[in-house]
Homo-oligomer: A and B are copies of this chain.
Amino acid sequence: MDKEENDSRCEQCIIRQFNALRAMSKEELKKVSDSKITRKIKKGESIFEEGEKLNGVFCVRNGVSKLSKLSANGKDQIVKLATKGEVMGQRSIIAEEHSNLSAVAVNDMEVCYIPKESIVHTLKSNPDFAVEVLRHMAHDLREADDVIVNMSQKTVKQRVAEAFLYLKNNFGEDKDGFLALTLSREDIANVVGTATESCIRIISEFRKKGFLKTSGKRIGIADERKLQDLVEGF
Closest B-chain residue to A133, C-beta based?
B134
Q: Is A17 an interface residue (CB 8 A)?
A: no
Instruction: Give chain B residues whose Cβ lies under 8 Å from the Cβ of A124.
Output: 127-128, 131
- Copies held by the complex: 2
Q: Main SS of chain A's interface residues? A: helix
Total interface residues in chain A, CB < 8 Å = 47
Instruction: Give chain B residues whose Cβ lies under 8 Å from the Cβ of A100.
Output: 142, 145-146
Q: Which residues of A in the span 39-79 have a Cβ within 8 Å of any Cβ on B? A: 69, 71-73, 75, 77, 79
Q: Which residues of A in the span 120-172 have a Cβ within 8 Å of any Cβ on B? A: 123-128, 130-131, 133-135, 137-142, 144-149, 151-154
Contact code string A91-102 (vs B, CB < 8 Å = 1, else 0)? 110111100110
> A144 contacts which of B95, B141, B192 (Cβ < 8 Å)?
B141
A123 touches B133 (CB 8 A): no
B141 touches A77 (CB 8 A): no
B153 touches A79 (CB 8 A): no
A73 touches B153 (CB 8 A): yes
Closest B-chain residue to A194, C-beta based?
B152
Q: Is A193 an interface residue (CB 8 A)?
A: yes
Q: Within the complex, what minimum Cβ distance (angstroms) separates A149 from chain B?
A: 5
Chain A residues within CB distance 8 Å of chain B: 69, 71-73, 75, 77, 79, 91-92, 94-97, 100-101, 123-128, 130-131, 133-135, 137-142, 144-149, 151-154, 192-194, 232-233
11 A–B contacts from the bound complex (CB under 8 Å):
A71-B149, A72-B153, A79-B149, A91-B142, A94-B138, A100-B145, A123-B131, A124-B131, A140-B141, A141-B144, A144-B148
